[in-house]
Amino acid sequence: MFSVYRSRAEMDHRENNDRRLLLWFFAVATTVKLLLIPSYRSTDFEVHRNWLAITNSLPLTKWYFDETSQWTLDYPPFFAYFERFLSIFARLIDPRIVDLQSGLDYSSESVIYFQRISVIVSDLCLLYGVYRLTRKLEPMKRNLICALVIWSPGLLIVDHIHFQYNGFLLGWLLLSISFLQEGRDLLSGFLFAVLLCFKHLFAVAAPVYFVYLLRHYCWSGFVTGFRRLVTIGAVVVAVFAAAYGPFIYHGQIQQVISRMFPFGRGLCHAYWAPNFWVFYIILDKGLAFLLRKLGFEIQIPSASFTGGLVGDSSPFAVLPQITPLTTFAMVLLAISPCLIKAWKKPHPGHVARWIAYAYTCGFLFGWHVHEKASLHFTIPLAIVAVQSLEDAKHYFLVSIVSCYSLFPLLYEPQEYPIKVLLLLLHSMVMWLGFVAQYTNNNKAQKDNGESKSKFRIGCFEKSYLMGLVIVEIVSQFLHPYLLGDKFPFLPLMLISTYCTIGTMYSWIWQLRKILT
């Protein structure tokens, strides 16, 4: 009896220590986020301020019709409800924040501090997601995942400098994954449905969820399976009804869908995400240039590949036109090996890997992909990174590539030391963490002082990272010095192209891992 009480007390003590350490990770990250409040803000800052004004000043029936600002509401209803909730507090702090007319481009200290702090507070969702995912892991793995996710430089750059709420949304994703890993499939499906009603771009992983839940949860005999299928179907329908029901009732669902899926935007975002389409566009431009030199009449397209607002779809001079349907088919085709694996062997321990792979496919082959979407696969890959030495080596490279691809988001000189320092610190944390995790703990070797780590990056990874340093030196220092204002697009094209090589390598590596 005494031993039972003692073991229970030890477990409680361990859990309390785990929580304190996790809170320490979060406190350090929060301190850095508070220091970043005065930093550069992108147009996304005004986008979200305008959404606060829309949801506070107008009735629900006008939310998806308002065009007072060019930054119209284009997220699913749950995020609109979230903005409505935040607007209640915003109005108490400064009524002009939520004023639809006078609030346009409002940039007082009140709105800056309110919106920045709202992102910091919403990161509590990420904190809880990490806690649930790691609470049953051994201390070394748990601490490493906490450091990789909570101290993610990508999240700091995108959410707390550039400005978005990715940490909040990724927290929902991690919660869903944690319940999948525990075998609580129904609750996981519910949380993923909620996430889709917050941000529809997470739907890239929906095929993985569908196949896995159908095979793992519903494939249990005819009666039980049918009952479970009806149950999980009813849960998903209830979530979507709560989100879209009011708009269906008012006959506005078509307007909501058209705002959420503005396919008139270009194939690529304003900052080129390092994906497959970078190669395709460069090849088209190269062929057009060569053919014009050879005397062929090749018309130069007038529309942009990188329209951030709705406009003409991306035209090509030589290669076949790419439509949203083409990209959808390519994403689905790329995900299919993962779906086959999830159907044949629906193991809960593999879901994080499959979900990360699905988001990698969406990032590489999707339509109008934002460079910020790399967070959708790098954060789940942090969970996978502690599973094996190979996974750790892969994550070390892809995490650096993902973070570096975000550098063009912060183009002002005063932010340059910040983003470089964040990447260097993240690289050091990863290196030290993986070295510690994969150090040989053989007692005899320890006594002889010969304890060595198995974590070493290979020749390809070393060469690629050295090339990344060269790309940064050329784009940041040599290009302005040698060419001045000529060819201003070259640095961005060079960074995007080089990071695309790293992203493609990651996709192939993940695919090989899934197939083996």
Name the DSSP letter for residue 272.
Answer: P
Tokens 């000189």 found at: 413
Name the DSSP letter for residue 70.
Answer: S
Task: Assign 10 a pLDDT band (cuts: 50, 70, 90).
Answer: low
pLDDT tens-digit series, residues 255-286: 999 999 987 777 887 656 889 998 888 888 88
pLDDT of residue 427: 96
Residue 17 above 90 pLDDT?
no
The residue type of 467 is G
pLDDT of residue 55: 97
Cα–Cα distances in angstroms (integers) from residue 31 to residues 27, 290, 375, in the given order: 6, 53, 22
Tokens describing residue 450: 């010969």
What torsion do the CA atoms of 381, 383, 384, 387 make, to the nearest 10 degrees? 160
pLDDT of residue 444: 47
pLDDT of residue 303: 47
Tokens describing residue 122: 């919403």
Is 363 in contact with 503 (CB distance < 8 Å)? yes
Average pLDDT over residues 354-366: 96
Q: Distance between the two ends of the chain, CA-based, in angstroms?
A: 47
pLDDT of residue 309: 42
Average pLDDT over residues 217-239: 93
SS (H, E, C) 278-321: HHHHHHHHHHHHHHHHCCCCCCCCCCCCCCCCCCCCCCCCCCCC
More confident of the two residues 21 and 358:
358
pLDDT of residue 387: 93
Residue 45 above 90 pLDDT?
yes
pLDDT tens-digit series, residues 379-395: 999 999 999 999 999 99
Average pLDDT over residues 286-311: 68
Task: Assign 306 a pLDDT band (cuts: 50, 70, 90).
Answer: very low
Least confident of 426-435, 448-457, 461-470: 448-457
pLDDT tens-digit series, residues 69-93: 999 999 999 999 999 999 999 999 9
Average pLDDT over residues 53-57: 96
Is 496 in contact with 507 (CB distance < 8 Å)? no
CA distance 306 to 314: 8
CA distance 80 to 74: 9
CA distance 444 to 50: 64
> What totals of helices (H) and strands (E) does the chain contain, helices first?
22, 0
C-alpha closest to that of 200 among 177, 175, 229, 169? 169
Task: Assign 218 a pLDDT band (cuts: 50, 70, 90).
Answer: very high
CA distance 189 to 178: 11
pLDDT of residue 450: 55
Note the pTM of the prediction, 2 decimals.
0.92
CA distance 363 to 443: 45
> Residue 4: how many CB atoms within 10 A of its CB?
8
